[in-house]
Amino acid sequence: MRVIAVASRKGGSGKTTLAGHLGVQAELDGAGPVALVDVDPQGSLAEWWNARSAPTPYFVHTAVSRLSDDIAELKTLGVELLVIDTPPALTSLIKDVIDVSDLVVIPTRPSPHDLRSIGATVELVEHLGKPLIFVLNGAAMRARITAEAVTVLSRHGTLAPTVVHQRVDFASSMIDGRTVMELPGKSRSAAEIAELWSYMRDRLAGNVSRRHFPIPGPLAAAGEADRVLRQEPV
Ligand SMILES: Nc1ncnc2c1ncn2[C@@H]1O[C@H](COP(=O)(O)OP(=O)(O)OP(=O)(O)O)[C@@H](O)[C@H]1O
Ligand SMILES: [Mg+2]
C-alpha cells in the first residue's frame, strides 16, 4: 500500500480538491481499493465524501495518533492507496502524517502568497526525507504568473508536469460528492486529473526520476520569479 499526503501551509491551495480527485481517479484507473483520510478539523473531505453516492473510494475515520496502526490494518485489508487530506498548518500533526507517507503532494496556486509560503512546507518534508511533488492548481489560462510560478517551483523541487487550471467544475462537482471525472461528458478538467494521476502513479511506482517541468522558453529567465521568492527564501 502506498500513502499520499496532500499538504501545504497555505489555506485554499486545493488540498481537499486534489485529495478527492486523486483518490477517485486512482480508483477509476484500477489502482484501488483506495481509502481516504481527513485529518483536517474543518472536515471538508469528510463532508464531501458524506455527500457522495458512489461507494468508493472508502473513507477511514481515524486520528493521527492511531494512523500507523490503522495503516497496518488497511494493508492487511488489501487497500492499495491511502490519500490523506491535511489542514493548512505546519504542526506536529502534519509531521506525523508526512512521517507515514510515501509521497507528499503540495498544491500551490500561482500567486505570490502561495509561492512565498512553500518554504516551510518544503523544509519539513525534506527534513523528514520524503519525496514531494508540487502541483500548480487554480491556474489561469495563458497567464504570465503561471509560467513564473512554474519557474519558481521547478527550482525548489519536483513540479508535476500537469497544471490544474481554475475551472468552475472543480468546485461545482464537489457540491454533491462528485468529481470532475464523474460529470457527464468529457472535460479538460477531467483530462488534467487523469494526466496528473498517471504521473503520480509512475512516481509511486518509482518509474520516474526527479523530472522537472519543462520551463517555458523566455520565461525561464523571468526576473519576477526571483523577486517573488527573495521575500521569503526557501
Ligand atoms: N482548480 C480549481 N478550479 C476552481 N476552483 C478550485 C480549484 N481548486 C480548488 N478550488 C476551489 O477553491 C477552494 C479551496 O479549495 P480547497 O478546499 O480544495 O483548498 P484547501 O487547500 O483544501 O483549503 P484549506 O486549506 O482550507 O483546507 C474551494 O472552494 C475549491 O472548490
Ligand atoms: Mg482542505
List the residue whose alpha carbon is closest to atom 23 of ligand 1: 12
* ∠ Cα 77 81 87 (to 5°): 115
Q: How far is the CA of 57 from the centre of ligand 1 (A)?
A: 20
Residue 216 has pLDDT above 50, yes or no: no
- The dihedrals phi and psi of 38, each to the nearest 5 degrees, come to -120, 110
Report yes or no: 19 and 27 within 8 Å, Cβ to Cβ. Answer: no
| Count of domains for the chain | 1
The model's confidence at residue 208, banded by pLDDT at 50, 70 and 90, is low
**The pTM of the whole model exceeds 0.75:** yes
Query: 72-103 pLDDT, tens per residue?
Result: 999 999 999 999 999 999 899 999 999 999 99
**CA–centroid distance, residue 15 to ligand 2 (Å):** 5
For 193, the domain range is: 2-230
Q: What is the DSSP letter of 214?
A: P
> Measuring from each residue's beta carbon to the nearest atom of ligand 1, which residues come in under 6 Å?
11-17, 40, 42, 44, 88, 137-138, 164, 166-167, 170-171, 174
Rounded distance from Cα 44 to ligand 2 centre (Å): 6
Report the CATH number that the domain containing residue 54 is assigned in CATH: 3.40.50.300
